[in-house]
C-alpha cells in the first residue's frame, strides 16, 4: 500500500505542476515544498532506512540540475520537483527520471526551436520522464 500511495502522490504532484507550468509558466511553492515535506514525513513514519532513502532521493533530485538552475537554464521549480520525486521514490527512481526527462526535454526543445519559441515549459518533460520510469519498472 505505501508504494501505491507514493506513486499516486508523485503522479498528482507532477500533474498539478505541469498544468501550472503550461498555464502560468510557474509552479507554486506550496506544491513543491509541500510534496517534499510530506514525502520526508511519510518516510520517517516507515523507519530510519526509509527516511534515509527519502533524504538521499531528495538530495539527488534537488542537486542533479542545480548547476543548470544557477546559470538560468532551468527554473528552481524544476529542481524542487525532482527533489519531491526523490523524497517520495528515492534516489534510483529520481536519477532514472532525470535520464528520461533529459531525452523528453530534448524532443520538446527541438519542437520549440522548430516553432521559433525561445523557451518552453519543462515540467511536462519531468512528468513524462517520471511516468516512463513508473511504466518501465
User: Among candidates 73, 69, 101, 70, which has minimal Cα distance to 85?
Assistant: 101
Which pTM was predicted?
Answer: 0.93
pLDDT band (50, 70, 90) for residue 137 = confident
Residue 2 has pLDDT above 70, yes or no: no
Task: Please answer whether residues 21 and 122 qualify as being in contact, where contact means their C-beta atoms are separated by less than 8 angstroms.
Answer: yes
How many structural domains is the chain composed of? 1
User: Among candidates 65, 71, 72, 70, which has minimal Cα distance to 126?
Assistant: 65
pLDDT band (50, 70, 90) for residue 1 = very low
For residue 48, give the C-alpha cell.
Answer: 530510519
Task: Read off the pLDDT of residues 28-70 as tens digits, 9 standing for 90 and up.
Answer: 999 999 999 999 999 999 999 999 999 999 999 999 999 999 9
For residue 96, give the C-alpha cell.
Answer: 532514472
Widest distance between CA atoms in the chain: 50
Task: Read off the pLDDT of residues 96-112 as tens digits, 9 standing for 90 and up.
Answer: 999 999 999 999 999 99
For residue 110, give the C-alpha cell.
Answer: 527541438
Domain that holds residue 79: 2-136
Amino acid at each position: 500500500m505505501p508504494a501505491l500511495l507514493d506513486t499516486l502522490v508523485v503522479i498528482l504532484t507532477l500533474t498539478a505542476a505541469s498544468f501550472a507550468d503550461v498555464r502560468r509558466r510557474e509552479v507554486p511553492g506550496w506544491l513543491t515544498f509541500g510534496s517534499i515535506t510530506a514525502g520526508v514525513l511519510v518516510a520517517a513514519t516507515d523507519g530510519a532506512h526509509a527516511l534515509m532513502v527519502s533524504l538521499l532521493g531528495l538530495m539527488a533530485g534537488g542537486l542533479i540540475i542545480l548547476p543548470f538552475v544557477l546559470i538560468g537554464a532551468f527554473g528552481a521549480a524544476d529542481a524542487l520537483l525532482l527533489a519531491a520525486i526523490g523524497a517520495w521514490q528515492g534516489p534510483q527512481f529520481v536519477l532514472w527520471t532525470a535520464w528520461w526527462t533529459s531525452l523528453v526535454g530534448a524532443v520538446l526543445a527541438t519542437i520549440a526551436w522548430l516553432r521559433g519559441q525561445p523557451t518552453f515549459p519543462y515540467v511536462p518533460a519531468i512528468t513524462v520522464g517520471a511516468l516512463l520510469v513508473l511504466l518501465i519498472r
